[in-house]
């Protein structure tokens, strides 16, 4: 008859079985995190980036080469206003940012200094902004599910929604996560409009001067393997698209075919960032290839190519 001590030893689970169960559980959890954050896709893209030739890199934006030179500069007096998007104006060589919580446009220098604030009377939750031609600016209101073209010049001090014709964008798959992004594609004469979640893109053809006609059309969005779509931008030199995701802490570059070219993580320690960008909500690129971002609530960033 076995002794009590030998019986207690025999009931214990073997060491290797306990460790194998723990490793299996960790693997399952790790795979879930990797899939949710799309790190597997980023890993494949990172490998693909390594095989790009120097000529191919020069023909693209090539986000891995960018380093921050203005890092988390506060926009004064806007701590409670929630910076929601950013657009470059090539005619004035300035930037327009839209504030979503207390609606207004703010014009900035390329160094992130405030030039003026323009109240947006009648807007509910403006989340996207794009500069077109002849002083036209497109504003996307997420709560109203619409897009409005307004006129802004050097004398503009306020904008009233009642003076302009809004264009209905319809509903999104997730009613709580509506249309949040817009960018002007001068090269292809179209607006690109983005839904936040699930990330989807649409186009609205226009010359940038005339009133909008027709309706938006879907644009293939399979390459937007992001947790959400916060903003869109266009590189005026290459025509490549920038897709920003606050939830994924990621900026993607897509080429004219909609295929991924390069990416940049927004985590602290990468691309010269001292800290992770808290919630990146706006992106723009100027005609010299400099990259700009705004983050809630009121932080400004500029990146330059190394």
> What digits encode the pLDDT tens for the residues 265-282?
999 999 999 999 999 999
pLDDT of residue 37: 46
pLDDT for the residue numbered 219: 95
SS3 category, 208: coil
**Helices (H), ranges, 230-274:** none
- Angle of CA points 178, 184, 185, to nearest 5°: 120
Q: What percent of the chain has pLDDT over 70?
A: 81
- What pLDDT score was predicted for residue 284? 98
| DSSP H or E run through 231 | strand 231-234
Question: Residues of 231-253 as b/e, b for ≥16 C-beta within 10 angstroms?
Answer: bbbbbbebebbbbbbbbbbbbbb
> Given this model, what pLDDT does residue 175 score?
60
pLDDT score recorded for residue 306:
87
Torsion of Cα atoms, 14 then 15 then 16 then 18, to 10°: 90
Cβ neighbourhood burial of 117 (10 Å; 0-12, 13-18, 19+): middle
pLDDT for 279: 96
The list of the chain residues with pLDDT below 50 reads 2, 4-11, 15-16, 26-38
Note the pLDDT of residue 112: 98
pLDDT at 36: 43
pLDDT tens for 244-259 read 999 999 999 999 999 9
Beta sheet of 179-185, edge-to-edge order = 179-185, 190-195, 200-205, 217-219
The pLDDT, as a whole number, for residue 296 is 95
């Amino acid at each position: 008859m076995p002794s009590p001590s030998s019986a207690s030893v025999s009931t214990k689970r073997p060491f290797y079985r306990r460790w194998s169960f723990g490793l299996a559980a960790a693997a399952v959890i790790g795979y879930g995190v990797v899939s949710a954050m799309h790190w597997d896709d980023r890993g494949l893209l990172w490998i693909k980036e390594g095989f790009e030739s120097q000529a191919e890199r020069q023909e693209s934006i090539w986000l891995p080469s960018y380093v921050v030179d203005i890092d988390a500069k506060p926009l004064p007096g806007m701590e409670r206003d929630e910076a929601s998007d950013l657009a470059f104006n090539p005619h004035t060589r300035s930037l327009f940012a839209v504030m979503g919580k207390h609606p207004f446009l703010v014009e900035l220098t390329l160094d992130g200094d405030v030039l003026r604030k323009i109240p947006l009377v009648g807007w509910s939750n403006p989340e996207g902004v794009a500069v077109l031609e002849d002083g036209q600016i497109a504003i996307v209101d997420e709560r109203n599910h619409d897009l409005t073209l307004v006129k802004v010049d050097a004398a503009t001090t306020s904008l009233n929604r009642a003076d302009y014709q809004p264009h209905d964008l319809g509903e999104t798959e997730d009613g709580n996560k509506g249309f949040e992004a817009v960018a002007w594609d001068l090269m292809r004469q179209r607006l690109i409009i983005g839904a936040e979640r699930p990330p989807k893109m649409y186009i609205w053809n226009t010359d940038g001067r005339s009133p909008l006609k027709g309706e938006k059309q879907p644009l293939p969005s399979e390459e937007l393997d992001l947790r959400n779509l916060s903003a869109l931008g266009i590189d005026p030199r290459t025509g490549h698209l920038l897709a920003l995701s606050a939830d994924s802490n990621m900026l993607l570059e897509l080429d004219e075919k909609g295929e991924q070219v390069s990416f940049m993580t927004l985590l602290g320690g990468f691309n010269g960032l001292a800290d992770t960008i808290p919630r990146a909500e706006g992106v723009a690129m100027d005609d010299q290839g400099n990259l700009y971002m705004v983050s809630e609530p009121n932080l400004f960033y500029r990146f330059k190519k190394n």
